[in-house]
Amino acid sequence: MSNEDQEAQADELLALANIFPKDEFRRAETSKGGEIQVCLELPSNFEISVKSNAAQNIFIEDFKDTLSYLPPIVLNFELPSDYPSTSPPNFTLSCKWLTPKQLSRLCQHLDELWKRKSACVVIFTWTQFLKKETLEFLSIQSPYEIEVCPNVSQNCNKTPVETDRCSNAESQENRVYDKRVIQDVVSVSALINCILEFNETQQKKCFDSKLYMCSICFSEKLGSECTNFKLCNHVYCNICLKDHFEIKIKDGQVHSLNCPEPECSSTATPAQNAALEKEIVKELVEEELFSRYDRLLLQSSLDLMPDVVYCPRPSCRTPVLKEPGSKLTICHNCQNAFCTFCKMSYHGVSKCNLKGGK
């Protein structure tokens, strides 16, 4: 290795570490190289779809969604001793939503970019091309249908391969791919989950890094200090929202912690994600108030269940399941035996003395 190559490699790796966040660039521990996760800039309202293939024995409903982010293209590279003076970097490209054919075209273009910049460092140039020009280069537009070739992905998860056979419902044909490509997909369902999780994570990351004006205190705060009501897009700082939630919890209004905006019924999270809503409340309010919130939430749910009654002892009040067709109910907490109808001590076959009893 020449001194010039050694210095150029050291400078390039240092520059990459300074340019990319730690979650996007990971330097190799045992060699001169690393891994860069390249996140593309998608147009607004970018629609994708993933369709099942009967020949793959995958039976799921067709998937369609509008996304802001897709999982990254991953560039793994290793710098040979005579780079950049003579040899290009050794590399692989992997992606969950690009086909081996598309990845092969990207590999070929990276080779061409190296030839144009011969004897110059090229990794940053490669990443900029992948980030800013991949969609146009591959003529990808919305709506975009993701194609999955499980045979290629399964083999490539072990070692890069030069050839593989893709199946479809109509025919099979040999297709030759660049040995440096990996379509990292185990199954269609796993791909869909990965896409949705990555999009949500990146949206949260983007939200946390921006400034927002709180509509209550009218001060600017980072998104990481705020909560976004997704259905209405109203944003409030956590300090103001904490006060708002605490007032509602003290008043016993625990089922829907609504947006503070007048006449807005949006909740911090969709109703079907009650567990996540509880986590948000737990982070914002004091422990004592959260315990009250949790208790009232459980009680309000139990109140809607016709087969649940409460132990009548003031010191107990434990919810108990009724015995079908029986007046007798025994509290499992204090062992109190009481009449389901009149809530008095169990009186056997005698009629209830209270009005409305049987």
Specify the CATH superfamily of domain 210-303. Answer: Zinc/RING finger domain, C3HC4 (zinc finger) (3.30.40.10)
For residue 267, the model assigns a pLDDT of 62
CATH of domain 3-198: 3.10.110.10
Structural domain boundaries in the chain = 3-198, 210-303, 308-358
Higher pLDDT, 227 or 170: 227
For residue 84, the model assigns a pLDDT of 94
Mean pLDDT of 330-350: 86
Mean pLDDT of 318-344: 85
- As given in the structure block, the two tokens for residue 347 are 């009186």
| Mean pLDDT score of the chain | 80
pTM for the model stands at: 0.66
For residue 254, the model assigns a pLDDT of 63
Q: Residue 250: name the closest of 204, 211, 291 by CA.
A: 291
The fold adopted by the segment(s) 308-358 is N-terminal domain of TfIIb (2.20.25)
Mean pLDDT of 91-106: 93
pLDDT tens digits for range 255-271: 666 788 877 776 654 44
For residue 63, the model assigns a pLDDT of 67
Q: Do domains 3-198 and 308-358 have the same CATH topology?
A: no
pLDDT tens digits for range 195-239: 989 998 998 899 999 999 998 899 999 999 998 877 788 889 999
Residue 148 has pLDDT above 90, yes or no: no
Other CB atoms closer than 10 Å to residue 161's CB: what's the count? 17
Q: Model confidence at 95, in pLDDT bands (50, 70, 90)?
A: very high
